[in-house]
């Protein structure tokens, strides 16, 4: 049985990355898709764990070979998701979290119709500002730029299957866990799983 691809998007500072890490730690059959990027590693980031860090030239070659499910330029650097990496995980029966920005999600939705979209919403723009400041990775100007983009991104939340408000991290994680578990119990996936158990069930599929 194939795994489920989950597309997770959020404006900067909504807490998406923390939620996704917790989910991957929790579900033994859930993996994180590792994106390819042309930006330099930040302190502590590991190649093949956080990202595949590649040269611009290699990125261009991957585009030329149509290896990306989606790619996008963010703040002058490029990020892309390998279709082959994803297919390999799914065909092993593993579900996969793809942390994708709103632009990239639009591309994937068309190319991966079985994907489940989850939008993580901050309780307010002010809460994003506080999180970005606490993270301490961006300059004040960079933070304001990200917040302006955030407002635009939030307008796309309605295109996702689920919306999770990340007000309290534990409560948001409970919701996210429920979404992942419930999607596994969806009838088309269950019919695949139980085929043979009750031959009759699948007859009227």
- Binding residues (CB under 8 A) for a copy of itself: these are 119, 121, 123-124, 151, 154-165, 174-175, 177-183, 185-187, 190-191, 194, 197-198, 200-205
Residues in the chain, total:
205
Q: Are 180 and 30 in contact (CB under 8 A)?
A: yes
Compute the least distance from the CB of residue 160 to a copy of itself, in Å: 6
Q: Are 147 and 131 in contact (CB under 8 A)?
A: no
Query: Which residue's CB is nearer to a copy of itself, number 1 or number 181?
Result: 181
Query: Which residue's CB is nearer to a copy of itself, number 2 or number 123?
Result: 123
Compute the least distance from the CB of residue 58 to a copy of itself, in Å: 36
Q: Are 118 and 162 in contact (CB under 8 A)?
A: yes
Compute the least distance from the CB of residue 134 to a copy of itself, in Å: 22
Query: Which residue's CB is nearer to a copy of itself, number 75 or number 198?
Result: 198
Closest by CA to 118, choosing from 1, 7, 4, is 7
Compute the least distance from the CB of residue 163 to a copy of itself, in Å: 4
Query: Which residue's CB is nearer to a copy of itself, number 26 or number 41?
Result: 26
Residues 49, 53, 54, 60: is their CA dihedral positive or negative? positive
Residue 148's alpha-carbon distances to 28, 139, 157, 164, in angstroms, are 37, 14, 16, 21
Q: CA-to-CA distance for 196 and 122, rounded, in angstroms?
A: 44
Query: Which residue's CB is nearer to a copy of itself, number 28 or number 44?
Result: 28
Compute the least distance from the CB of residue 37 to a copy of itself, in Å: 29
Within a 10 A sphere around the Cβ of 69, how many other Cβ atoms? 23
């Amino acid at each position: 049985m194939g795994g489920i691809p989950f597309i997770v998007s959020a404006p900067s500072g909504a807490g998406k990355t923390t939620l996704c890490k917790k989910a991957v730690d929790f579900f033994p059959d859930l993996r994180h898709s590792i994106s390819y990027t042309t930006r330099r590693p930040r302190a502590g980031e590991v190649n093949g764990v956080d990202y595949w860090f590649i040269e611009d030239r290699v990125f261009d070659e991957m585009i030329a070979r149509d290896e990306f499910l989606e790619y996008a330029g963010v703040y002058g650097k490029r990020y892309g998701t390998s279709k082959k990496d994803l297919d390999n995980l799914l065909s092993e029966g593993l579900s996969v979290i793809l942390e994708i920005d709103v632009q990239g999600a639009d591309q994937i939705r068309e190319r991966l119709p079985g994907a489940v979209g989850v939008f993580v919403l901050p309780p307010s723009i002010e809460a994003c500002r506080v999180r970005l400041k606490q993270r301490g990775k961006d300059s004040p100007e960079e933070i304001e730029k990200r917040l302006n983009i955030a407002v635009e991104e939030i307008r796309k939340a309605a295109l996702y299957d689920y919306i999770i408000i990340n007000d309290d991290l534990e409560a948001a994680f409970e919701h996210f866990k429920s979404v992942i578990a419930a999607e596994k119990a969806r009838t088309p996936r269950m019919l695949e799983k139980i085929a043979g158990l009750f031959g009759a069930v699948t007859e009227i599929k």
